[in-house]
């Protein structure tokens, strides 16, 4: 039994504890508390966690907003700042500049373009075309001189425009031969990221204004299927894409040949984010099952010119875009890797171009990095909106992982193993991401969470 004095002491002690506890509780409301991260796994037995301090500060190779290689900005005072805001340049490419006679190919036209683009630390996207509004075709002159070759003259956008003669067998054979020769030379060239192909105006799979005659001013559906087969046979590395306009059965055979939808072509949309995109182009994307297609083939295109210059100048407005929805929302929904926006600089700051570029394509976050005396285990999350479309490897001290990052889709997490002996007590291993399909001057960056 407590004495009276002892009872008083005990009561005072209890009151003091309550007061101190109350003060600590009140103070904790005004400062952050250190809480353990219960989601982090424990370090595997025999391994040591490695601390990283990395961030993504640059536009990643083969992603982002794209400018034309002929943009005047490249000769202006802001060229270097703009170059840092993108990683890709686009080129409409004339075949007649390359083929000067039957079987004669002068690749200097392509090589010069590639050298120029690479000098700005960028990679190229090419599109070969025959028909451009207001111009002659760029069909090689030796074909034009054939007696059984007859082009069609028409009016497109109020301009006199010439259309190829797709009844001509030499044109058909040459078009396939050209891609054979191009693939032999450039299929694995790291200066080229993507290839766009197609027929009609600008190679966009339509003749929306002018003399459309299937099999004459536009290739027959039978030839188109043979052309797709040919492209798949000659390009083993370089991803090729067709326009979403190829959903239209007036032009394309794909609606009646669904097996061809299984081919690994990507998509480009040349009126991306126009005012009525959801009610028109959206269904075209659905036709190609883009939610699955993006996993293996790049999706991109070009911002709309329907209302020029409004669309181009405003499409990258933060938070609202040109018509109430920002680019970031579209990029995430359609898993956009790249988007041509040659005139966006007319309405947007360079910093905004870079911000939009960083919202495109892949981005990697290292979630854990463990080393042992025999190997390293790295957990990676793709926090971007699309995968990379070439092999890239988690690399430790120069040794590459056995599995490529190529199959790491948006939002996915995977572990990658690197077989390399390390002194876990003394070693400070260097973690990088390497790819053979980027320029020597480019780097694939990564961020990391605090996983100690």
Are 289 and 213 contained in the same domain?
A: yes
Q: Find the farthest-apart pair of alpha carbons in the chain and give their distance in angstroms, rounded.
A: 125
Are 270 and 407 contained in the same domain?
A: no
What are the beta bridge partners of residue 69? none
* In a domain? residue 23: no
Res 68: pLDDT: 98
Q: How far is CA 207 from CA 137, 199, 439, in A?
A: 14, 9, 37
Are 249 and 268 contained in the same domain?
A: yes
DSSP string of 302-324?
EE--SSTTHHHHHTT-TTTTTTT
* In a domain? residue 243: yes
At 41, the pLDDT band (50, 70, 90 cuts) reads: low
Asked whether 104 and 378 are in contact (CB, 8 A), the reply is no
Which of 29-33, 96-100, 165-169, 259-263 comes out lowest in average pLDDT? 29-33
- Angle, CA 227 vertex, CA 69 and CA 339 arms, to 5°: 30
**For residue range 215-261, what is the model confidence (pLDDT) as tens digits?**
999 999 999 999 999 999 999 999 999 999 999 999 999 999 999 99
Res 43: pLDDT: 86
Q: Encoding tokens for residue 181? A: 């020769």
Q: What DSSP character marks residue 140? A: -
- The arithmetic mean of pLDDT across residues 317-334, rounded, is 98
Res 266: pLDDT: 98
Domain boundary among 358, 375, 397: 358
Res 40: pLDDT: 52
At 450, the pLDDT band (50, 70, 90 cuts) reads: confident
Q: Which residue has the tokens 């007036």?
A: 250
* In a domain? residue 37: no
Res 393: pLDDT: 98
DSSP string of 269-282?
EEEET-TTGGGTHH
CA distance 386 to 448: 18
Report the CATH number at residue 383.
2.60.40
Are 344 and 376 contained in the same domain?
A: no
* In a domain? residue 98: yes
Report the CATH number at residue 278.
3.20.20.80
Q: Does position 14 have pLDDT exceeding 60, yes or no?
A: no
**For residue range 360-386, what is the model confidence (pLDDT) as tens digits?**
999 999 999 999 999 999 999 999 999
* In a domain? residue 18: no
Boundaries of domain holding 321: 64-358
Res 52: pLDDT: 95
Res 359: pLDDT: 98
Q: How far is CA 405 from CA 59, 173, 238, in A?
A: 18, 38, 17
Mean pLDDT score of the chain, rounded to an integer?
Answer: 91
**For residue range 386-402, what is the model confidence (pLDDT) as tens digits?**
999 999 999 999 999 99
What is the enclosing helix (H) or strand (E) of 19? helix 4-28
Q: Does position 18 have pLDDT exceeding 70, yes or no?
A: no
Are 119 and 164 contained in the same domain?
A: yes
Q: How far is CA 5 from CA 8, 378, 413, in A?
A: 5, 64, 65
Res 451: pLDDT: 55
Q: Which residue has the tokens 């999706």?
A: 299
Q: How many domains does the chain have?
A: 2
Res 398: pLDDT: 94
Question: Buried b / exposed e across 34-62, counting CB within 10 Å, b at 16+?
Answer: eeeeeeeeeeeeebbebebeeebebbbbb
* In a domain? residue 255: yes
Q: Does position 178 have pLDDT exceeding 70, yes or no?
A: yes
Are 320 and 437 contained in the same domain?
A: no
DSSP string of 177-200?
HHHHHHHHHHTT-TTEEEEE---B
Res 207: pLDDT: 98
* In a domain? residue 138: yes
At 419, the pLDDT band (50, 70, 90 cuts) reads: very high
Q: What percent of the chain has pLDDT over 90?
A: 87
Q: Does position 37 have pLDDT exceeding 60, yes or no?
A: no
**For residue range 42-78, what is the model confidence (pLDDT) as tens digits?**
788 989 999 999 999 999 999 999 999 999 999 999 9
**For residue range 116-160, what is the model confidence (pLDDT) as tens digits?**
999 999 999 999 999 999 999 999 999 999 999 999 999 999 999
CA distance 73 to 89: 12
Domain boundary among 327, 358, 389: 358
Q: Encoding tokens for residue 233? A: 């046979």
At 422, the pLDDT band (50, 70, 90 cuts) reads: confident
Are 367 and 296 contained in the same domain?
A: no
**For residue range 299-316, what is the model confidence (pLDDT) as tens digits?**
999 999 999 999 999 999
Are 297 and 393 contained in the same domain?
A: no
């Amino acid at each position: 039994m407590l004495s009276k004095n002892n009872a008083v002491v005990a009561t005072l002690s209890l009151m003091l504890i309550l007061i101190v506890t109350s003060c600590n509780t009140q103070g904790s409301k005004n400062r952050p508390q250190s809480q353990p991260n219960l989601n982090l796994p424990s370090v595997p037995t025999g391994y040591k966690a490695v601390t990283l301090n990395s961030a993504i500060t640059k536009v990643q190779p083969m992603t982002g907003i794209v400018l034309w290689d002929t943009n005047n900005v490249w000769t202006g005072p802001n060229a270097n700042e703009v170059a840092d805001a993108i990683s890709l340049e686009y080129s409409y490419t004339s075949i007649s500049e390359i083929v000067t006679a039957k079987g004669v190919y002068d690749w200097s036209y392509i090589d010069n373009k590639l050298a120029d683009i690479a000098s700005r630390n960028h990679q190229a996207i090419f599109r070969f075309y025959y028909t451009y509004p207001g111009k002659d075709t760029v069909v090689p002159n030796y074909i034009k001189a054939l007696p059984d070759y007859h082009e069609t003259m028409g009016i497109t956008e109020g301009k006199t425009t010439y259309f190829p003669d797709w009844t001509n067998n030499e044109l058909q054979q040459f078009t396939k031969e050209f891609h054979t020769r191009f693939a032999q030379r450039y299929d694995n060239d790291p200066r080229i990221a993507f290839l766009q192909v197609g027929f009609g105006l600008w190679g966009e799979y339509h003749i929306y204004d002018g003399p459309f005659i299937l099999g004459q001013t536009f290739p027959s559906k039978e030839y188109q299927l043979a052309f797709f087969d040919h492209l798949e046979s000659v390009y083993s590395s370089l991803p090729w894409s067709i326009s979403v306009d190829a959903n239209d059965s007036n032009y394309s055979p794909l609606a009646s040949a669904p097996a061809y939808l299984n081919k690994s072509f990507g998509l480009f949309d040349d009126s991306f984010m126009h005012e009525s995109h959801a009610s028109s182009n959206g269904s075209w994307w659905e036709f190609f099952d883009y939610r699955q297609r993006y996993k293996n083939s790049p999706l991109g295109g070009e911002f709309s010119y329907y209302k020029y210059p409004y669309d181009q100048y405003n499409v990258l407005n933060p938070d609202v875009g040109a018509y109430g929805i920002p680019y970031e929302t579209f990029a995430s929904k359609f898993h956009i890797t790249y988007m041509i926006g040659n005139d966006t600089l007319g309405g947007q700051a360079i910093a905004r171009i870079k911000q939009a570029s960083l919202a495109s394509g892949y981005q990697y976050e290292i979630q854990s990095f463990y080393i042992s005396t025999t190997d390293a285990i790295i957990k990676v999350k793709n926090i971007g909106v699309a995968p990379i479309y070439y092999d890239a490897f988690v690399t430790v001290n120069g040794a590459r992982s056995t599995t490529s990052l190529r199959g790491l889709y948006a939002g996915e997490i995977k572990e990658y193993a690197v077989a390399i002996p390390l002194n876990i007590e003394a070693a400070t291993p260097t973690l990088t991401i390497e790819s053979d399909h980027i320029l020597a001057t480019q780097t694939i960056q990564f961020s990391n969470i605090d996983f100690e």
